[in-house]
Chains A and B, each alone.
Chain A
């Protein structure tokens, strides 16, 4: 199913004014006011979108803005906001998730829904199309739709022969009378068609394929074939399909916390049952709350170990819900609540094991999951050894839930040596000022860092560490471990060799020893 919102940008603005009418009375965008959205192309302003009133007065899409201004005196002009348009389209796509999980954006103003096998849930294709259109229109958007076997054909029909439903195998007949503009393949091709006198798709399709391919390229021929239903092209969904999902629809939107909690509980139990039958555990759990007024709230939690227990799921979700900056707002109520499980893995049944280690590993993984749900996964970290000699890159802090990385820790210290690497590394090496060093290539005798003076009494080094030459070239560093008069130990380096930097090298403090 293809949906097209022909007056998307202006409808968006009209909706905004309706909801903010109280505050901005003078920004009155009544439907009868001609309104255009101005875009910029090739350094000139042109009409990017327009409402019904404007088009009635003879303004058209792509017209230079100056012309439009000259034609209508009280023309209201708003600059285009492509970001806001894209966000809204994304929202509408979210909303469409209630019909099918396979929703694709068709920018700038369209959506494609794969409704294979779901139409009967909504009373057949015809009823479903009517339902979707009515619901979107109720939000204040003009919408046209079409249903056919392939997405490109549906797209063309939605734009040029609205609200058609093509029975299987009849794409070609329905498309044949459409103008060539329905092929939607750029201004150059259109010009060529005009010159050749080809006006409808039927005329183009009648030409030999070899002829078309040599004139417009193989891509064009593929596109034409996909559209006519000779070839098939799959939809790329916006999100990967979940492995398991379960949802509850409400006849009346639910508002109270208790009902929502009860519904989540029931859904978690049913999801847990599905996972159990499949012998799977989930790594990624997502809850969707479809609000009656079209907004969709999503809450996702990740887990470090495959999870199947309904209580644990609920606890993680609640942890996440409690941590939300602005709490879940039911507004006029939720009419659908859904749980999705993705990234599922084979899962052994975990009961209280006799193996204590196993139990404690599991408990700690659960603790990490809870903390990650509350504070965000990037805040709970573990360390992984990296195979490099660059000091700041030798250990990487990664989310503790990621189990897919591993490295071997290599201790630099020989037996009975003191630690050779500092316990603390500054996030970025800080430059220090070194007025004087003992010998030109030696360590500083005194330095100033964060406005404090430090006298160096002991030095170990240098330890020369060259940067990775195959990456962007950086100077070699000479590291020194220095001890100051009052017993503090720092890790300093000189950036660049003596013969490169001369007498005025730059010095940095990178770490602090325990």
Chain B
């Protein structure tokens, strides 16, 4: 292979993995994280959020609010997830900075229905973002299913967030994978403050990993860099078994 061919090959590789020009990356508003992610979350790809506790699922909602822009957001969940983790509340979505008018909900009877609906919804390029909420191990979402969703997302340019609760990470075609835990309000503050998460980027297909404390700002709909008080958050508990969440407690 001469060098021109090699160059062409590399170009082809880059054109596949680089961002198309008409799809800007979804910046998180957090400079450090955006740098590692190469400008932000890749649109038209699949991102997994593993919530370690009840509140952490809000992280997926925050990401989706960032990614949807002015377009609609489809939230897909099987019925039992609502019983276990509570139903999505439009007032809560509004308070978090989202627009409930743009929120559509699909209540699937089971995980298989949820997956087939996700495939259909993802294929519609007029969607802003799709959140697929799956509770437990969800065997229906295996590697081939995940790849299929990834390809559909790639085709249509719609960003998919797979929100997993009470589950272990499995091989998947996701572009990024996040382990998220909610944090207490800052020690020095008097009031409650905005939602804070300890987000660990545990998988990134096109770059490095990292761990950040992110505070969601519902006012402008972006994450804020946390500078002060990092020392106050000692002993992050990523050493406990992944399945241990409060649903088993």
Which chain A residues have a beta carbon within 8 Å of chain B's beta carbons? 359-360, 363-364, 367-368, 370-371, 374-375, 378-383, 385, 391, 394-395, 397, 400, 409, 411-413, 415-416, 418-427, 450-452, 457-458, 460, 481, 483, 485-490, 511-514
Contacts and interface: CB of A to CB of B under 8 A. Distances in A.
Chain B binding surface, main DSSP class? mixed
Contacts of A427: 82-83, 86-87
Contacts of B113: 375
A382 B108 CA distance: 14
16 contacts: A364-B127, A381-B104, A381-B106, A382-B104, A383-B93, A409-B101, A415-B219, A416-B219, A418-B191, A418-B194, A418-B195, A421-B91, A423-B58, A423-B95, A486-B184, A514-B92
A380 B76 CA distance: 9
Nearest to B59: A514
Contact of A375 (B53, B117, B124): B117
Given A364-B126, A460-B192, A483-B185, A512 B85 contact: yes
A370 B218 CA distance: 34
Nearest to A420: B95
Contacts of B121: 367, 371
Nearest to B249: A452
A232 to B, nearest CB: 49
B40 interface: no
A513 B58 contact: yes
Nearest to B219: A416
Contact of B89 (A368, A409, A413, A423): A423
B152 to A, nearest CB: 13
A254 B172 CA distance: 47
Contact of A424 (B87, B109, B127, B249): B87
A383 B90 CA distance: 6
A452 B248 CA distance: 9
A394 B126 contact: no
A379 B246 contact: no
Contacts of A451: 249
Contact of A395 (B55, B91, B107, B193): B91
Contact of A425 (B87, B126, B193): B87
A359 B124 CA distance: 12
A513 B94 contact: no
Contacts of B55: 487-489, 512-514
Contacts of A416: 219
Interface string B156-186: 0000000000000000000000000111110
B7 interface: no
Contacts of B127: 364, 367
Contacts, number: 176
B111 interface: no
Given A423-B96, A424-B85, A514-B96, A483 B184 contact: yes
B73 to A, nearest CB: 11
Contacts of A457: 184
Contact of A371 (B95, B106, B184, B194): B106
Given A360-B71, A512-B85, A424 B92 contact: yes
Contacts of B104: 368, 380-382, 400
A150 to B, nearest CB: 49
Given A423-B58, A514-B195, A458 B91 contact: no
Contacts of A394: 90-91
B188 to A, nearest CB: 13
Contacts of B53: 486-488
B51 to A, nearest CB: 10
CB-based closest 5 A-B pairs: A514-B58, A424-B86, A452-B249, A383-B90, A360-B126
Contacts of A378: 107
Contact of A513 (B184, B195, B219): B195
B120 interface: yes
Contacts of B106: 371, 375, 379-381
A481 B107 contact: no
Contact of B90 (A395, A419, A426): A395
A363 B71 CA distance: 12
A370 B87 contact: no
Contacts of A481: 192
Residue in B94, B103, B117, B191 with the greatest tally of chain A CB atoms within 10 Å: B94
Interface string B61-75: 110000000011000
B58 A375 contact: no
Nearest to B195: A514
A363 B126 contact: yes
B57 interface: yes
Nearest to B114: A375
A403 B32 CA distance: 44
B86 A487 contact: no
B89 A395 contact: yes
A489 B218 contact: no
Interface in B204-249: 216, 218-219, 246-247, 249
Contact of B54 (A363, A381, A395, A488): A488
A450 B86 contact: no
A269 B182 CA distance: 56
B113 to A, nearest CB: 6
Contact of A488 (B82, B182, B193): B182
A395 B120 CA distance: 27
A367 B86 contact: no
B38 interface: no
A418 B181 CA distance: 18
A293 B106 CA distance: 39
B100 interface: yes
Nearest to B92: A423
A7 B156 CA distance: 63
A514 B61 contact: yes
Nearest to B181: A487
A250 B95 CA distance: 59
A397 B101 CA distance: 11
Nearest to A383: B90
B105 interface: yes
A288 B83 CA distance: 37
Contacts of A425: 86-87, 89, 92
